[in-house]
Amino acid sequence: MLRFYTAGESHGKVLMGIIEGVPSGIALSEPDIDRELKRRQKGYGRGGRMKIESDHAEIVSGVRWGITTGAPIGLIIENRDWANWQRAMSADPAMSGSAPAVTRPRPGHADLPGALKYAQKDIRNILERASARETAMRVALGAVARKLLAEFGMRAGSFVFQIGAAAMEAADTTAMGASALAGLARKAESSPVGCPDEKTAEKMKSLIDEAAKAGDTLGGRFTVFVTGLPPGLGSHIQWDRRLEGRLAQALMSIQAIKAVEVGGGITLAARPGSEAMDEIFYSKSKAGKGFYRKTNRMGGIEGGMTNGEPLVAHAAMKPIPTLKKPLRSVDMETKKPFRAAYERSDACAVPAAAVIAEAMAALVCAGALLEKTGGDSLEETRRNYDAYIRYLAQF
């Protein structure tokens, strides 16, 4: 079983993460993780925090001489802004009261429901943990999962196809194979907005500029995928073992994500069944695949299990709710109306959200892979995986 946890606050000393269940024998170094952290920090429309932080993950356990040992892997990312918040975020009771209480909840944030749930008079005790800063550690942990997937030829990727009202001409992922998806991801990697279409990317940049100038923010949509997955990951046996449910939860758990689709998603609701399914074919000569599909409307998942086609999902991110153009709210203490305060924020973070989604998809798929193949070491896992692939070829 692969499981992970994160801890830490936006302006705390560090972000911490633990991932357990990673087999021994996998090559893993800090540059492997930092490469993904750097991708998360890029993107047109990012705010002042990205100018302060230059994220670096320190591996503190579970790796020796560049190889995983099978023990829990512990990671730490230091918050450079901690230097300005040592008194305000100190654990020392002597520092109590060194910063004024935040009592004005911002619409669209965890501020008010979190304060009510945890009986907090100071909203900072909520907003620090609820902040999307936490996703830096998710990306770091996802980098570990990606290393495991790569050992078996599996890759996660993404691309942005809409920001605000600017959207690229629909890329029909239901007709795309692994190479086509990877091609879009490569083009997106060189785009400041993560979009593989250059003309659309320029429109996206213009809209972000306009929103920033007006003190507003923009959301958008992106596609995330994982290729190389064999059929049979996940299960139809229980509701919580269905892979699309686990994937949807993982993506929806990312701050500001409000909708997730798998494969053809909502468009399938308007089609007759004869045009919504992926017909099954068989060929011994098709790279040894045996059963295969010519379309991928199901997004690589049927009955809660992978079917051998690329896993494809789409997610929608709402505009970031921290606005220079203040929204109306009510002070928790005085109950008087006010205009919500502005804290440093991004005008648009959709490209970063796509990178975070890759990490979450990688964690879900790595977990499903280990559930199917088992193995405490890479050697054992590979032996079990190879046996399963041989079985599929003979089916």
Residue 228, domain CATH: 3.60.150.10
pLDDT at 1: 84
Q: What is the DSSP string of 145-178?
A: HHHHHHTTT-EEEEEEEEETTEEPSP--GGG--H
* Measured distance CA(176)–CA(185) in Å, rounded: 13
Residue 388, number of CB atoms within 10 A of its CB: 15
Residue type for 388, please?
A: Y
When divided into structural domains, the chain yields a total of 1
Count of H helices and E strands in the chain?
A: 10, 17
* Measured distance CA(199)–CA(295) in Å, rounded: 28
pLDDT at 171: 74
Q: Token digits for 356?
A: 């975070």
pLDDT at 141: 98
Beta bridge partners of 309: none
Q: Token digits for 145?
A: 């999962």
Residues 225/215, Cβ–Cβ less than 8 Å: no
* Measured distance CA(357)–CA(156) in Å, rounded: 9
pLDDT at 50: 55
Q: Token digits for 129?
A: 């943990």
Residue 97 is part of which domain span? Answer: 3-394
Give the E-state strand segments of the chain in sequence order.
3-8, 14-20, 57-61, 63-64, 67-68, 73-78, 155-163, 166-167, 220-227, 257-262, 280-283, 290-293, 301-302, 305-306, 311-317, 328-330, 337-339
pLDDT tens-place values along the chain, 395 residues long = 899 999 999 999 999 999 999 999 999 999 999 999 999 998 888 765 555 668 999 999 999 999 999 999 999 999 999 999 999 999 999 999 999 999 999 999 999 999 999 999 999 999 999 999 999 999 999 999 999 999 999 999 999 999 999 999 877 899 999 999 999 999 999 999 999 999 999 999 999 999 999 989 999 999 999 999 999 999 999 999 999 999 999 999 999 999 999 999 999 999 999 999 999 999 876 555 689 999 999 999 999 999 999 999 999 999 998 877 778 999 999 999 998 766 556 899 999 999 999 999 999 999 999 999 999 999 999 999 999 999 998 88
